[in-house]
Structure formats: C-alpha cells, structure tokens
Amino acid sequence: MSAVKRLFSEGFRVFFLSAGLFAVLAMVLWTGWLAFQAAGGLADLPVTMAPQHWHAHEMIFGYGGAALAGFFLTAVPNWTGGKAAPHRFIALAAGLWLAGRLALWFSGALPLPVVAVADLAFAPLLAVQLLMQLLRRPRGPQLLFVAMLALFWLSNLLVHLDWLGLTASAGQGLRGGLLVLAGMIVVMGGRLTPGFTRNAMVASGREDRLPVNPRPLAAGSVTAAIAVPVACLAGLPETLTGAVALLAGALALCRVALWRGGWTWRRPILWTLHLSYALNALGLVLLGLAGLGFGSEIAALHVLAIGGVGGMTLAVMSRASLGHSGRALVAPRGVVLAYALLPFAAALRWIGSAVPQVYEPAVLASGVLWVMAFTLYLAELWLVWWQPRLPRAPVGAPR
C-alpha cells in the first residue's frame, strides 16, 4: 500500500494530520494579521466576513470538525465491531472538509451561497456514515453523538444564514458550535479519562483508591453540558444559559476531582486528559459567571476553546494516533511539551481579555504558544500517520 493510500485507510490518519496542519496554519494567519494590525497595518484578509468571525468559525468548525471526524471514524467501528469506512469515503470526507476551508478563505471572491454549501456539506456526510454504523448495534449513549453532531451542524448553519444576510445569528451559532464541542468533551472525556486512568492503575498493580465515576453525578453532568448549547441555540436569556453553564461546569469539576488525577503526574498521556477536562469545566464555570454578570465572556470562551477543546483534542488525537498505529501509549517528549503549552496559551488569552492593558502582547503570545504546541505535535507524529501500523504495541506498553 502506498503512503498516500494508507493516509486515507483510517480516519485518524488524514483527519488528525489535517487538524494539526490547520491548527498551525489558521493560527499563524490570524496571529500574523493581529500583529500587523497592532503595528498600524491596514491589510485585509481575503474573506467576506469580519476577520474575527472567520477566526472563530475556522477554529470551531474547521479544526474542531477535523478532530471530530478523526475521532468518530476511528472509534465507531471499535464500538460496533463493524468495518471501518472505506478509504474512498475517507478521501471524499477529507476533500469536503478541505473544500469548506478553501471556500471560507476565498469567500471574498466567491458567492456566499457557494461558500455555505461547500462548508455545510461535510457534517451531514459524516453523520450519515456514523448513523449507518451505529444502527447495526444501536445504543443510546452512542447515538447521542449523532444528535450532538446535528447540533454542531445547526450552529454552523446559523453562522452562514447571518453571512447570507438572512438572520443576525452569527454570534449565536459560533457560541453554539463551541459549546457543542465542550459538551462532547464532558460526555466522552467523562468516559475516557477515568477509564484509561483506571486501566493504567490496575496494570501497575494498584487495586484500591481507583477512579470513581458515580452514575447520578455523571448523568447530571452530561445532561447539563448538553443543555448549555441547546439553551444557546434556542436563544434563551443569558442569565438562564449562564446558570446552566455554571451548573455543568461545577458538576464536571466534581467528577474530575474523583478520578485520581494526582496519580497520573508521571504519565503525561494521562494527566493531559485530566487537566484538559478540568479546564473545559472551568471554562463552563467562567462562562456561566459571565452570563450572570461576573467577568468577561470572551475570556471565558477562550479558556473553553484553548484549554478545554484544544487541550482535550490534542490529548485524544495523540493518544489515538499512537494506539491505533500499534505504538506504545507513551507520549513523545515533544508532544508532552505540547500538552504543557496549551494551558499557558489559555491562561495568556484569558489575561488578554480580562486585562485590556496587556491585550495585544497577551493575545499574540497565546497564539505563538498554540502554534508551537501543534508544530511539536506534527513533528513527533508525522511519520505515524504515513507509516504502516506496527504488528503490536511494544511489550510492556500501557493500555
């Protein structure tokens, strides 16, 4: 099998590679534009929408969409025991995702209906594929992700309807899309993080004080986390949406406190899951407080986006790339550094919004740290996506 065909043989390969490349490229363009503006330049981006809308949209629906696709196309066959999507489908899906990114970037020269169609075609294709696979062995918790993917697409639709001049819903759609991603982290991260930690602890010989994940607490946390984007997309009052977000974040923090995160400090591939889950929960708390009139909403959204979504997707993409390629579940040094850089990027971006006097240097430094993190991720895992799967993980590798 050629390296190019291998790239499209499994969803994690092309989409986790694409997510990393786009994370770097999109942030270089955005940070470079901000730096130019700060220096007094007047250059415009070749986009028809407001530059900040392009940035937010592409990090949520561009980067986030690629990360979701790689995860679902890899995980769902394992859940159902069915065959993975054929390489032709993966290539088609990757092509549609790329078409959306190009359409957005060149939107200043394209009819906006064409931009909308190009960008909105990706998620339904992915959802149909997932639904066909999940219906072979239907389980409610897994089918929930199809519903959340539909909410993700609806959020994107609201953004495009605004850009088409039909509504005034771009802000609502952008927030909804980010909150759907945060909700997915509460749902799936709430299974993966304690599960992987428990497995590693048992494998090390530990039999007591294992992570606990009480069902009532998990159910309440998941329900609240899903209710947040629903409330946002439904246009409910900010105070009500803020109260739900505050509840969702508080419940998620209670959960992660029970997962024995301190035990993982020597295992970066585990502690990054705990830290990212906690930052996602903290972002929801801060967003809830902002909705109730305490603090900056923009600052809260960036803690959620960089520390929560960025951190958890980096953690899952690196772990899945190693595990599904037959390699040991030990993060390379560069990836460990990437894990550490994103929380600092989130903190700097929060400071930039919370303290206007240092806005420009803090935001630019945050962007640089993001680019560094994903450049390290690409450098360390580049060959993993192109090379054949190893016959089995090295002896003694943690699972």
pLDDT at 3: 87
For the chain, the C-alpha Rg in angstroms (whole number) is 20
Length of the chain: 399
Whole-angstrom distance, CA of residue 71 vs CA of residue 362:
32
| Residue pLDDT, tens place only, 68-83 | 999 999 999 988 888 8
Confidence of residue 6 (pLDDT cuts 50, 70, 90): very high
Using an 8 Å Cβ cutoff, are 69 and 93 in contact?
Answer: yes
pLDDT tens for residues 225-249? 999 999 999 999 999 999 999 999 9
pLDDT of 398 > 60? The answer is no
Residue 311 is predicted with a pLDDT of 98
Confidence (pLDDT) at 18: 98
pLDDT tens string 118-173: 999 999 999 999 999 888 877 777 889 999 999 999 999 999 999 999 999 999 99
Amino acid at 30: W
Task: Please give the distance of CA 29 from its chain centroid, rounded to a whole number.
Answer: 20
Domain boundaries, the chain: 3-386
pTM value surpassing 0.85: yes
Encoding tokens for residue 138?
Answer: 């239907």
pLDDT band at 392 (very low <50, low <70, confident <90, very high): low
Nearest alpha-carbon partner for 191 in 145, 123, 149, 157: 145
Cα separations in angstroms, 126 against 22, 131, 259: 19, 9, 32
**Mean pLDDT confidence for 321-337:** 96
Name the nearest CA neighbour of 221 among 251, 177, 254, 266: 251
Q: State percent of the chain over pLDDT 70.
A: 97
Q: 3-386 adopts what CATH topology?
A: Cytochrome C Oxidase; Chain A (1.20.210)
- CB-CB contact of 75 with 128 (8 Å): no
Q: What is the pLDDT of residues 300-325, one digit of tens each?
A: 999 999 999 999 999 999 999 999 99
